[in-house]
A = this chain, B = another copy of it.
Amino acid sequence: MTKEACIPCLFSVFRQYGYDGATLAKLSAATGLGKASLYHHFPGGKDDMVNAVLGYAENWLQENVLQLLASEGSPQERLQNMCDRVNDLYGGGTQPCLLAILQAGTGRSVFHDDIKGALTAWIGAIATVLGEAGIEPSMAQQLSEDALIAIQGALMVSQALDNPRIFQRTLQMLPQQLS
């Protein structure tokens, strides 16, 4: 098990249990590595692992969402493609958001800047697409924020109500709602 290969395992534990809930025992079981082996790859401990997982998530976002938003095709097509990727990312509304669970609560603020940066980049990428669709910048910014509000809110409500359809419906309405 190489370091790169075990990061997705750590990712799934952190996004399911959050920082405090993700114990070394769970992380060890998920990766198949002993605690000491985890410390071999991540000398900084849990914080080091979270940083690696956040980098992994940001990289995924960059390659699967941001690049796609900046690619060819009509704005409507690109937004629709983004929704498809987002649906995969969150398991059709059944999987929590890593950024959301690490952000939850104002208590821990160590990873706040990372989360803020990732969300800002995401919103900016959508705003650029909307700008290319002829929407004025301030309105494009606001609509992009609304898009992420809808995604994150629908994720929370869907999981609280045990109803992934709410999330899927929200994603489905998103492209036309943005124009």
Is A7 an interface position by the 8 A CB rule?
no
Tell me if A104 and B96 are in contact (CB < 8 A).
yes
**Copies of this chain present:** 2
Which residues of the partner chain B approach A95 to less than 8 Å between Cβ atoms? 106
Which residues of the partner chain B approach A146 to less than 8 Å between Cβ atoms? 170
Nearest CB of chain B from residue A24's CB, rounded to whole Å: 14
Tell me if A156 and B159 are in contact (CB < 8 A).
no
Which one of B21, B101, B153, B159 contacts A150 once the chains associate, using CB atoms below 8 Å?
Answer: B153
Q: Using CB atoms and an 8 Å cutoff, list the residues of chain A in contact with chain B.
A: 15-18, 20-21, 94-96, 99-101, 103-108, 112, 115-116, 119-120, 142, 145-146, 148-154, 156-157, 159-162, 166, 169-170
In order of increasing CB-CB distance, the 6 nearest A-B pairs are A153-B153, A20-B20, A149-B153, A17-B107, A152-B153, A104-B104
